[in-house]
Chain A
C-alpha cells in the first residue's frame, strides 16, 4: 500500500527561483541595459515629481533675463521669453511619458486582445483580425494625424469655445486635452497592429504546446486557459516590444509637436521646444541642444533597455 518513494536520500530544497528573478539577474549583468534602465527610471521620476521640484514654473516669464546661457541659476539657460529651459524640459518629460504611456497602453490592450483571440481561436476570427491589422498598418500615421488636425480638431475646439462662452460651464474651458485625445488617441488606434501580430504569432506556437492540451483535459474554460496559460507565456516578447514601443511613441510625440500637429504651445513638449530652438540655434544653441539631447537620451535608453530585456527574457537567443 505504500507509495513508492522518489529517492532514499533527503533532498536539499532550495527556495524557488522565479522566471522573473532569473531574468532580473541576467539583466543586471548587461551594462547597456542597466544604463538604459537607470535613465528610464530617472526620466520617469522627473515626469512624475519633476514639475514640483524645479525652481521655476515652466510658464513664468522673466523678460529681464531672456536668452541667457546655462548657469547655476538656470541649468539649461532661458528662452526668448525668459522661461527656465530646465523646468520646461522637465515638464516636457511629463508630456512625453504621458503620451507614450497612454498610446502604448491603448495599443497593447487592443493588440493583445485581438492577437490572442485570433491566434487562439483561429478560423474566421483570425482572418478578420488579420485583415483589420493589415488595413490599419496601411494608414500612414503622420498623414492621419495631419488629417485629424485639419478636419476634427479646429471645429471641436471652436465648438467648445462657443459652448464655454454661452454656458460658462468649466467643462468646456480647457481645450488642451482635445489635443491629447484626438491626436494621440488616433495614434493609439493605429499603433496596435505590431502588438497584435506579435501576440498572435506567440499564441499560435503556444496553442499547440502540450500544456494547453493538458489544461483542456482538466476541463478548464477557454477564458481561463487564455488568461492563465496562453497570455502569461507570451509575455516575454511582449515586454520587449512594449519597452521599444514606449521609446518610439515618445519620439513620435516629439515629431508631431515639432511639426505643430501634436502638443501645442505653451504646453512644453521636447518636440515644440526643438522646433522653437531651431530658429535661433546659431545664436542660442542651448535652446536646441537641451531638449534634443534629452529626447535622444530617452530614445537610446528605451532601446537599450528593450534589447537587454530581450536577452534577459530569451536567454537562448543571447550570445
Chain B
C-alpha cells in the first residue's frame, strides 16, 4: 500500500532536497489607481519531507502567495515577477493541463473554511472520488472503495456509511476531516494547509493538528501550514517563516524562533500570545498600528512605521534576509537585529 513506503520518525527527517522553491515572487492586484503590489519578491522553500509553518497577521499575503503560486486566484491578481519551482518545474510557466495534473495530484490543498469548501449538492463520497478518477484513472467502483479507506484514514466513524452523506449533514470537524481526506486522496508530495483550523473550536483544532502530523508521518509528504496562531503549530512544524506585508521577515527552525526571536515583528507576535501565568490585570500585549495597505508600502522596511526599534536606515532602505548563525539556518530581515549580531 502506498502509505507504507516511508514511515519516518519525529521530527520529520529532512533530506535537504528542495521540493518547492519560490524565488522573488511578486504579486500585484489591479486597482482603480493602477496595479498595487501585495507580495513583494517573496523567497521561500520547502524541502522534501519538511513541514514549514507560515505565520503572519491577516492580509499579510500568506494564503495569497500559496494560491497565486498555484494560479488559483482571479485574473485581477497576477504574478508579475519571480518563479515558483515545484519538483524542478516552474509552476508559472506550465501549461494549464500540466498544472491541473500538479494540482490535486502532486499538491494537495486543505482550505480554511470546511463549511463552505465542500460542494453542498454533491455526496462526499463522490467529491472524494473525483480526484481519484481524474488523476489516477480509477473506475467509479475503485474510487468509491478508496474513498471509504480515506475516510477511515482521517478517523471518521462509520466511514463507509458516510460516503453517501451530504456536507450539511456533517459537523465542522468532520467536514474538515473530509477536506483533509480529499487533499490526501492522490497521495500528494506536498500538502498545503491554509489555516485549516481557524473555523473550528479549540479541542477540534488540536485533533486536526494531530491528525495532519500523524498522516504526514505515515505518508511521508511535505506540509506547508499557513496560520496566524504560532502556538498551535509549535509541535507540528520543522521551520517557521514569519511573513509581514508580503515579505519573509524571519526564517528559522521552530526551536530557534521560540528561543531567540530576532525580528521585532516576531517578538511582538510572540509577546501577543496570552500566558496563563500573567496577572489578571495585565493588558493583552499587541503591536500598535496596522500593516501598510497594498500600493502604499513605505520606502524602507515595511515594518519600520510600527517598529519600536526603528532607526533612520530602516525608513530608508529595505533589509534583506541574512543568516544570524554560522550555518545560516536562522535568517532575519532587520538592520537592528543584524547589527546586534555583528556587535556581539
Contact = CB atoms under 8 A, between A and B. Distances in A.
Interface of A: 1-7, 10-11, 13-14, 16-19, 122-123, 208-211, 213-221, 224, 228-229, 232-233, 235
A219 B207 contact: no
A11 to B, nearest CB: 5
B104 A6 contact: no
Interface stretch (B155-163, B244-252, B296-304): B155-163
Contacts of A3: 153-155, 211, 214-215
A16 B166 contact: yes
Given A4-B210, A5-B157, A219 B72 contact: no
A213 B192 CA distance: 14
Given A3-B211, A4-B207, A221-B100, A216 B72 contact: yes
Nearest to A20: B121
B49 interface: no
Contacts of A224: 130, 134
Contacts of B74: 208
Contact of B102 (A123, A215, A219, A235): A219
B104 A219 contact: yes
A4 B166 contact: no
A6 B156 contact: yes
Interface residues of B, number: 52
Interface stretch (B52-60, B169-177, B286-294): B169-177
A224 B119 CA distance: 13
Given A216-B103, A218-B131, A221-B100, A17 B211 contact: no
A209 B155 contact: no
10 contacts: A1-B218, A5-B155, A11-B158, A123-B75, A209-B116, A215-B119, A218-B182, A219-B101, A219-B131, A220-B131
A211 B111 CA distance: 9
Interface in B82-108: 99-105
A218 B106 CA distance: 10
Contacts of B336: none
Interface string B112-140: 11001111111100000011001100000
Contacts of B103: 216-219
A54 B100 CA distance: 60
A195 to B, nearest CB: 19
Interface in B201-228: 207, 210-211, 214-215, 217-218
B134 A211 contact: no
Contact of A233 (B101, B104, B119, B217): B119
Contacts of B13: none
Contacts of A16: 123, 164-166, 169
A2, A19, A215, most chain B CB atoms within 10 A: A215
B109 A228 contact: no
Contact of B119 (A5, A211, A221, A235): A211
A233 B166 CA distance: 13
A205 B154 CA distance: 31
A164 to B, nearest CB: 52
A1 B134 contact: no
A217 B109 contact: yes
Contacts of A17: 166, 169
B44 interface: no
B19 interface: no
B318 interface: no
Contacts of B67: 213
A210 B153 contact: no
B211 A220 contact: no
Contact of A213 (B111, B161, B169, B211): B111
B305 to A, nearest CB: 33
B114 to A, nearest CB: 9
B234 interface: no
